């Protein structure tokens, strides 16, 4: 008997709408994000909304070594592009303004930095990580004008849909502000991505799964998920040490796989999933330490999706 291969709503055989295949379909060629540190800060670090930043945040956990403020944006991109071109000669790139809040500056300065990045050979677009409360109309106008010529995605640090949680982690904005930002980007046809942390203090399994329903009801295009990680040199590590009972750390990768699958089942099928977990340098990570790479975790998710014979959006309801 011939085995029938199911093609899902997103146009391929994977049981979830994955970022890699989405970009291959969108660009018709290999695309790689290259990080840039342009020297931004955040309004909950410089005193505008608070001090100390988010309780979980240590930017050293994701900033590549070539991202140094002593180097220009062009130089950082050049080094990153050279690194990736060793693997694949034919490739296009997106300049990823990643560290801190990358719309938190005068619009003229933002325009200069974004255009410098776009002038680097091989760069075909921008990914701009920012906060939902740092998207003024002037900034949106700039991003919209650039999106008419280049690929532009704004990655929003939503983190949680619960205002109590956002207050607890010193985020400095509300979920309502996240909703307004997502809707403002959608109205202007600017690509968006919602960044969310699963397992924040005070959020149990029921709250986390309801988050999938809330996000699915919004005009979100892409999501980046990751497990709560406790890092050195953060406010949260001190909270974790002194009040461990307040944290629901997923010590087992297998348990987090099951949570991810339950979450994905509730997620709108058209939402593109960029990642399930985050990987941090071992020297900075306190917990959880699963001892596996991101690609190994993805393999576990794909295996369990098949074993459970389920897929993204199976339980989604409009």
User: What pLDDT digit, counting tens, does each position of 68-112 carry?
Assistant: 667 899 999 999 999 888 777 778 999 999 988 999 999 999 999
Q: Are 65 and 125 in contact (CB under 8 A)?
A: no
Q: Tell me the three state secondary structure of residue 145.
A: helix
| CA gap 185, 180 in Å, rounded | 9
Average pLDDT over residues 177-197: 97
Beta strands 222-227 and 272-275, pairing class: parallel
- pLDDT of 176 reads 97
- Candidates 204, 203, 224; CA nearest to 267 is 224
Q: Residue 127 pLDDT more than 90? A: yes
Beta bridge partners of residue 228, listed in sequence order: none
Q: Are 10 and 22 in contact (CB under 8 A)?
A: yes
Q: Using CB atoms within 10 A of its CB, is residue 92 exposed (0-12), middle (13-18) or buried (19+)?
A: middle
The pair of three-digit structure tokens given for residue 74, joined into one six-digit string? 């062009």
% of the chain with per-residue pLDDT over 90: 68
Q: Residue 61 pLDDT more than 70? A: no
- pLDDT of 65 reads 60
Output the pTM of the full model. Answer: 0.92
| CA gap 110, 94 in Å, rounded | 16
Q: In this predicted structure, which of 3-12, 106-115, 211-220 has the lowest mean pLDDT?
A: 3-12
- pLDDT of 66 reads 56
Average pLDDT over residues 168-195: 96
Read off the pLDDT band of 5 (50, 70, 90).
confident
Q: What is the CA radius of gyration of the chain?
A: 19
- pLDDT of 67 reads 60
| CA gap 220, 133 in Å, rounded | 17
Average pLDDT of the chain, as a whole number: 91
The pair of three-digit structure tokens given for residue 215, joined into one six-digit string? 């996000």
Q: Residue 23 pLDDT more than 80? A: yes
| CA gap 135, 148 in Å, rounded | 18
Residues 6+ apart with CB under 8 A from 220: 182, 192, 193, 194, 268, 271
User: What pLDDT digit, counting tens, does each position of 250-264 carry?
Assistant: 989 999 999 999 999
Among the residues of the chain, which ranges form H helices?
A: 19-27, 73-85, 107-118, 137-147, 163-168, 175-187, 205-216, 235-242, 253-266, 294-307
Q: Using CB atoms within 10 A of its CB, is residue 13 exposed (0-12), middle (13-18) or buried (19+)?
A: exposed
The pair of three-digit structure tokens given for residue 60, joined into one six-digit string? 């050293």
| The Cα angle at residue 229 between residues 226 and 231, in degrees rounded to 5 | 140
Beta bridge partners of residue 34, listed in sequence order: 95
Q: How far is CA 42 from CA 37, 69, 271, in A?
A: 13, 16, 28
Q: What is the end-to-end Cα distance of the chain in Å, rounded? A: 37
| The Cα angle at residue 146 between residues 142 and 151, in degrees rounded to 5 | 135
User: What pLDDT digit, counting tens, does each position of 266-308 carry?
Assistant: 999 999 999 999 988 888 888 899 989 999 999 999 999 999 9
Q: Which residue has the higher pLDDT, 261 or 57?
A: 261
- pLDDT of 132 reads 95
- pLDDT of 3 reads 58
- pLDDT of 2 reads 52
| CA gap 316, 138 in Å, rounded | 36
| CA gap 163, 153 in Å, rounded | 25
- pLDDT of 45 reads 85
% of the chain with per-residue pLDDT over 70: 95
Q: Residue 6 pLDDT more than 70? A: yes
User: What is the torsion angle, in degrees rounded to the nearest 10, for the CA atoms of residue 212, residue 218, residue 223 and residue 228?
Assistant: -50
Q: Residue 129 pLDDT more than 80? A: yes
For 19-306, the fitting CATH number among 3.40.50.150, 3.40.50.10540, 3.40.1160.10, 3.80.30.30 is 3.80.30.30
Read off the pLDDT band of 46 (50, 70, 90).
confident
Most confident of 50-59, 65-74, 150-159: 150-159
């Amino acid at each position: 008997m011939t085995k029938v291969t199911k093609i899902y709503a997103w146009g391929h055989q994977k049981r979830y709408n994955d970022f890699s295949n989405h970009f291959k379909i969108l660009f018709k060629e290999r695309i790689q994000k290259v990080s840039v540190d342009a020297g931004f800060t955040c309004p909950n670090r410089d005193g505008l909304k608070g001090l100390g930043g988010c309780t979980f945040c240590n930017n050293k956990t994701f900033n590549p070594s070539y991202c140094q403020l002593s180097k220009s944006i062009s130089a950082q991109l050049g080094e990153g592009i050279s690194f990736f071109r060793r693997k694949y000669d034919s490739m296009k790139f997106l300049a990823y303004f990643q560290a801190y809040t990358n719309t938190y500056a005068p619009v003229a300065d933002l325009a200069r930095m974004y255009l410098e990045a776009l002038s680097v050979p091989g760069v075909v677009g921008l990914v701009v990580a920012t906060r939902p409360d740092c998207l003024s109309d002037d900034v949106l106008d700039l991003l919209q004008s650039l999106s008419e010529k280049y690929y532009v995605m704004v990655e929003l640090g939503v983190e949680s849909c619960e205002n109590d949680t956002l207050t607890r982690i010193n985020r400095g904005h509300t979920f309502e502000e996240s909703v307004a930002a997502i809707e403002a980007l959608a109205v202007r046809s600017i690509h968006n991505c919602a960044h969310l942390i699963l397992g924040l203090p005070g959020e149990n399994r029921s709250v986390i799964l309801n988050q999938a329903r809330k996000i699915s009801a919004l005009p979100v295009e892409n999501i980046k998920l990751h497990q709560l990680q406790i890092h050195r040199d953060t406010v949260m590590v001190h909270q974790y040490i002194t009040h461990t009972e307040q944290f629901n750390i997923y010590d087992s990768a297998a348990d987090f796989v099951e949570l991810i699958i339950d979450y994905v089942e509730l997620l709108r099928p058209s939402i593109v999933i960029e990642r399930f977990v985050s990987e941090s340098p071992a020297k900075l990570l306190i917990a959880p330490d699963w001892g596996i790479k991101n690609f190994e975790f993805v393999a576990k998710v794909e295996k369990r999706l098949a074993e459970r014979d389920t897929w993204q959006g199976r339980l989604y309801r409009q």
